Amino acid sequence: MGAFIPVISLLVVATLGLAITRIATVALTFTGLSRDLARFQARSAFVGVGFTTVESERVLEHPVRRRIIMWLMLLGNAGFIAAVSSLLPVFMAAGGSAASFLVRALILGCGLAVLWGVSVSKWIDRQLSSLIAWALKRWTRLEVWDYPSLLQLSAGFTVTEIEVAEGDWVAGKSLVQLRLGDEGVQVLGIRRAHGEYVGAPTGRTYIRRGDTLVVYGLVEYIAEINQRRADAAGDLAHQQRVHEQARLLEEQHKHDRSDTRNGEAAPRPADG
């Protein structure tokens, strides 16, 4: 039985390693990383291989991510090196029958195969991720989001302010009248001239001269709205942008419906 202890130890450490990287992956997604990138960075840091990508620089610039990566490196080095080292005497020592050697190798191979199956199972991944996310939200405070990545600010989108002056197209209208959402621009908040802040304004919220709008959208869309005047040309520019946005959305919907039909229409086997 003693000869199997190192094999069992390695399997236990591998299981713990899988659990640790899963927890770290979910924790990293809480900071704004995509799931694929979070999984890669967690595994890279844990095994100490490949953590030299451009994305790793973004990870290390974030304080919460940096702490997660640091713990992954420490746990990975402390666990796997010791576990692999404990196997060497078992497989390298002289003596013992060939059958005993094969049994140990078979147990190790089967155990690693099971762990590999668990690691690539999408169903298990969803269940574990949901459980880990619930636990992290309940017992930790990791909701420190990387807003530039989360809002895709590097892809042409931005969060900025529009100061409303007299004669601006947006002045003197409610948000439902402006229909900025139909142009692809969202109003996140309004800072009134006297200092009051209106967060997540509704369609009935009125825009006054002297207000400052906090908006999110494509840079060129926001810049055009900021320069738009309250005249016939401003109304025409609004209508053109709404029609353009509606056309883009319709094209996207057609593309999505086409993808759905292609995915559902599986080829039927030929008769005979």
Share of the chain above pLDDT 90, in %: 31
Q: CA-CA distance, 131 to 127, in Å (whole number)?
A: 6
- Residue 192: name the closest of 177, 207, 202 by CA: 207
Residue of 55 and 250 predicted with greater confidence: 250
Is the pLDDT assigned to residue 79 strictly greater than 90?
no
pTM passes above 0.75: no
How would residue 190 be classed by pLDDT, with cut points 50, 70 and 90? very high
150: Cβ contacts below 8 Å, ≥ 6 apart = 32
Token pair of 131, please? 């459980």
The answer to whether 188 and 216 are in contact (CB under 8 A) is yes
The highest-level CATH class for domain 151-262 is alpha beta
Q: How confident is the model at residue 206 (pLDDT cuts 50, 70, 90)?
A: very high
**Domain range list for the chain:** 2-139, 151-262
Q: What is the largest CA-CA distance in the chain?
A: 94
Strands in 212-218's sheet, in edge-to-edge order, are: 157-163, 212-218, 185-191, 197-199
User: Please, is 7 exposed, middle or buried when counting C-beta atoms within 10 Å of its C-beta (0-12, 13-18, 19+)?
Assistant: buried
